[in-house]
Structure 1
Amino acid sequence: MALPPKFAGHKLVFAAPPAPSAVAHTTHTAEFYLDYCCPYSAKIFRTLNNAVIPAIKANPQWASSLSFIFRQQIQPWHPSSTLMHEVALAVLRLAPERFWEFSGVLFEEQDAYFDTNVVNETRNDTYRRLAKVAAKTGVDEEEVYRLLVIPDKPGPDGFLNSGNQVTNDVKLVTKMNRLVGVHFTPTVVYDGVVQDISSGWTIEQWTEWLTKNVV
């Protein structure tokens, strides 16, 4: 599935493209459908960050032939999932080069936003805490919060349900994911085909899979 330019920070490439030629350069693409509120998404992301990505960077063939895309998969039965993805979209807008680093930090702190830990605070209070997570990766906390905060009074148009400044981005990523029909997180799609990949895979299993598929 195509990646809109506004979401370019979702994409991770491991090597510079080769010199221009008569044939357009392309790579294999692994898309990871992840929910910030999902423990299994955190588990696979941690393995990718700590083991798989370093292995790819150390292998010139893999690095030049593969790219990753982070697909934000909101799981609405956890209401805070939407809020967690909204802050990621704010980071994506303000500092797209920080997106993957921010995602790692948010996954490490995800249990602070599980149902029990947000039930007694307002939505804007949760946004304030999430903006502080963004600040840990060098993104301006106040700018993040400005994009997230919900006003407590109607705007000039009189609307009471307009959302915040990243609501339209939430609609877009949700619409894109619905076209693919992904439900379970994490889900890995490789070159357009869903893969039987588990969040519990070891680096040895990933190495075997990469050796077989990145050719």
Structure 2
Amino acid sequence: MALAPKFAGQKLTSSSIQPKAVHTLELYLDYVCPFSAKMFKTVYTTPLRDTLLEKYGDRVVTIFRQQIQPWHPSSTLVHEAGFAVLKVRPEKFYEFSAALFDQQKDFFDVNVVNETRNATYKRLAKIAGSVGVDEDNVYELLHISDKPGEDGSLNTGNRVTNDVKVQVKTNRLVGVHVTPTVVFDGVVNGDISSGWTREQWEEWLGKNVD
């Protein structure tokens, strides 16, 4: 599936490699899903990342598709932070995602239930700041006003609401439900598990990448 230019930061790339997009590997992940965190860490924080970029970088485009799981209300908020980072410093998206996955328990249901929405946004903006993204700019994009809009609207949203809508529409076209879900060349691959090791991933890539 195509990637909108404004979401380009979701693509795992190397500045020295411009892939021809012969294959597309899409990882549908939720920031508050423990299994998504496990898959992300295997793909991004182990030597598998170098394998994807250096060995297969000219034949495979890897994309982190943000998958909101609405039964966890905070899922929307944490993914909004991801979209804010994509606006402010798209090249920091993966670094921010790694930091957020490391702290994901801080945004589980019991840790946000007594917190205001803007307070949660402030904590998320601090995580962005910890990886070199302007904290104030991120919070400005996330902040929800407590005043009606100029037209009297009470559902004003924030400055990434439209990005959330686009991503949700995109993901619905694939019909993704569980996280993580892996889509390879447009087809859901149910064999790939969050428990896969780097070696299992590399064996699978060797068999499936031309």
TM-score (norm 2): 0.95
Structure 2 Cα separation of the partners of residues 58 and 174 of structure 1: 31
Counting only pairs closer than 5 Å after superposition, residues 29-48 of structure 1 correspond to structure 2 as: 29-48=24-43
For residue 55 of structure 1, what is the aligned residue in structure 2?
51
Structure 1 Cα separation of the partners of residues 78 and 5 of structure 2: 22
Kept after mapping to 1: 8 A contact 2:77/2:121: yes
> Are residues 1:17 and 2:11 paired?
no
Residues 47 and 122 (structure 1), Cα distance of their counterparts in 2 relative to 1, 3 Å cut:
same
Tell me, what secondary structure is at the counterpart of 1:71?
A: strand
Tell me, what secondary structure is at the counterpart of 2:58?
A: helix
Shift of 1:58: 4.7
The letter of the residue matching 1:5 is P
Residues 22-53 of structure 1: CA deviation (Å, up to 9, x unaligned): xxx43211000000010000000000012211
Report which stretch shifted further, 9-18 or 104-113: 9-18
Counting only pairs closer than 5 Å after superposition, residues 20-169 of structure 1 correspond to structure 2 as: 25-51=20-46, 52-59=48-55, 62-169=56-163
Structure 2 Cα separation of the partners of residues 175 and 83 of structure 1: 17
Structure 2 Cα separation of the partners of residues 57 and 175 of structure 1: 28
Kept after mapping to 2: 8 A contact 1:13/1:66: no
Identity percentage of aligned residues: 62
Shift of 1:6: 1.0
Report which stretch shifted further, 83-92 or 147-156: 147-156
Aligned match for 2:188, one of 194, 207, 215:
194
Kept after mapping to 2: 8 A contact 1:31/1:68: yes
TM-score (norm 1): 0.93
Kept after mapping to 1: 8 A contact 2:13/2:53: no
Kept after mapping to 1: 8 A contact 2:18/2:57: no
Residues 81-110 of structure 1: CA deviation (Å, up to 9, x unaligned): 000000000000111000011111100000
For residue 8 of structure 2, what is the aligned residue in structure 1?
8
Kept after mapping to 1: 8 A contact 2:21/2:58: no
Kept after mapping to 1: 8 A contact 2:82/2:93: yes
The letter of the residue matching 1:65 is R
Structure 2 Cα separation of the partners of residues 209 and 129 of structure 1: 38
Give the root-mean-square deviation of aligned CA atoms.
Answer: 1.3
Structure 1 Cα separation of the partners of residues 121 and 30 of structure 2: 17
Kept after mapping to 1: 8 A contact 2:129/2:135: yes
Aligned match for 1:204, one of 191, 199, 207:
199
Where structure 1 has 5 or more consecutive residues not aligned to the other structure, the ranges are 19-24
Count of residue pairs brought into register by the alignment: 207
Shift of 1:178: 0.5
Runs of 4+ displaced beyond 3 Å: none
For residue 175 of structure 1, what is the aligned residue in structure 2?
169
Q: Answer with 1 or 2: which has the greater Rg.
A: 1
